[in-house]
Amino acid sequence: MMPYDDRYTVHIQTLGLLPFIHMVNRGTLHMNPTAITTLVDRWRLETHSFHLRTGKMTVTLQDMSMILALPIQGDPLCINTSSDNWRDRMCSLIGGKCPGDTISKQGVKLRVTDGATFKWISQNFSTCLKNASDDEVMIYARVYVWYVITKTIFPDGKGNMAHWHWLKALTKMDKKWS
């Protein structure tokens, strides 16, 4: 994980994500694979509930908010899917830094079109300078939140990339989203 800087707190608190970030930084709870498999086996898609010996159990939005420490009050987060000039817009959100157009994997160059690797993010944003301006601290806080949510809640299939559309959700850092 990237190190947390206390200067990010004011920006993350405004988003309403501070309890979630603290929970992630403390470490995730031990997951019991047997219990999770049992719950998966008892999930009924047609009723969106678990069928247990004691009866049906439905997981509500409030339950998920309590488990993940995510806010459910505020405006709903809706992301504009317009792809016009997306790369430049995403790069401007992180201070103009952008990963290269290609990454090398086993000698083959692959085009990166949908995000930045966690390695690249860590190399470029792991430490915010001590004399950074408020705007620079906000950029580092944005990247930190982007890194954490894509690493924990919304990982890609391979678990090595942060997709741009989750950064796009952090365009406005001065508003609490649901």
**Cα–Cα distances in Å, from 20 out to 54, 135, 155, 175?**
31, 23, 16, 16
Domain assignment present for 34: yes
**One-letter amino acid for residue 43 of the chain:** W
Domain assignment present for 62: yes
Domain assignment present for 99: yes
Structural domain range at position 151:
6-168
Cα–Cα dist 174/12, whole Å: 9
- Which residues, given as ranges, of the chain have pLDDT below 50? none
The structural domain count of the chain equals 1
Cα–Cα dist 86/113, whole Å: 10
Which pLDDT belongs to residue 107?
58
pTM of this prediction? 0.79
Domain assignment present for 1: no
Cα–Cα dist 169/166, whole Å: 5
Domain assignment present for 175: no
Domain assignment present for 177: no
Which pLDDT belongs to residue 101?
53
| Number of Cα atoms under 13 Å in the Cβ half of residue 84 | 2
Q: What pLDDT digit, counting tens, does each position of 49-58 carry? A: 888 888 888 8
Beta-bridged to residue 157, according to DSSP, are none
Domain assignment present for 91: yes
Which pLDDT belongs to residue 166?
84
**Cα–Cα distances in Å, from 105 out to 108, 110, 111, 119?**
5, 7, 11, 14
Q: What pLDDT digit, counting tens, does each position of 116-154 carry? A: 889 989 999 999 999 999 999 999 999 999 999 988 888
Domain assignment present for 11: yes
* φ, ψ of residue 133 in degrees (nearest 5): -75, 170
Between strands 115-117 and 49-52, the pairing is unpaired
